[in-house]
A and B are shown apart, each in its own frame.
Chain A
Amino acid sequence: QVQLVQSGAEVKKPGASVKVSCKASGNTFTRHFMHWVRQAPGQGLEWMAIINPSGDRANYAQKFQGRVTMTRDTSTSTVHMELNSLRSEDTAVYYCASHYYDSTGYPIPFQHWGQGTLVTVSS
């Protein structure tokens, strides 16, 4: 089993950057691909980014290309998501989540989620 614990709430001004962390525990984490998903107040889920287990390949939703960076520190089992040029529309709860491949090679999507981190962007 994998448990994901995220960093605390953040308040930022428009134009600033925010970096959210997600620390994993559990001996299978090294096989997990990590993702970031966000949810604006009263809105749906929005997939943002994915990073592979070794941390050398990340992919981002078109909407966030050039503004988001996802990194992975394998030594501390932690992933980070940095979002730049913040605007009020970025106010949301940000979740990390993981997927892995089962013994037959099929992907198992988000069984594991972090508790969520509220990022508020306000002047």
Chain B
Amino acid sequence: DIQMTQSPSTLSASVGDRVTITCRASQSISRWLAWYQQKPGKAPKLLIYKASSLESGVPSRFSGSGSGTEFTLTISSLQPDDFATYYCQQYNSYSWTFGQGTNVEIK
């Protein structure tokens, strides 16, 4: 199975900050990468797919980039509603995997 490694595991930031989360794949996955946001007690929510395509209804302050093995999720100006856990996910093969998650907390 393809391994996904996210960094950092925890990120402390303030409202208005620019935030970047990185995800690395153990082998090339082209652009078959998604990002999800999860809040406690809720199912994850799709934010980005195909590395940089913004899901309908997701604010434009979220953006994704990368290809091959290196990917990033950027929040241009952190809002109070954005404090949550973020996961990357590869879907390059018939066996999908998630990163271990990044908890974005209030500084």
Contact = CB atoms under 8 A, between A and B. Distances in A.
Contact of A44 (B1, B32, B43, B87): B87
A35 B89 CA distance: 13
Given A95-B43, A114-B43, A107 B100 contact: no
A61 B72 CA distance: 25
Nearest to B85: A44
A111 interface: yes
Interface stretch (A14-22, A45-53, A83-91): A45-53
A59 interface: yes
Interface string B2-35: 0000000000000000000000000000001010
Contacts of B91: 99, 107, 109
A38 to B, nearest CB: 11
Interface in A14-73: 35, 37, 44-47, 50, 59-62
Contacts of A61: 1, 95, 97
A107 B43 contact: no
Contact of A110 (B1, B46, B99): B46
A44 B44 contact: no
Contacts of B34: 109-110
B44 to A, nearest CB: 7
B49 interface: yes
B79 to A, nearest CB: 22
B98 interface: yes
A37 B32 CA distance: 18
A46 B3 CA distance: 12
9 contacts: A45-B36, A50-B96, A61-B97, A95-B43, A106-B50, A107-B32, A109-B46, A110-B44, A116-B43
Interface of A: 35, 37, 44-47, 50, 59-62, 95, 97, 99, 106-111, 113-116
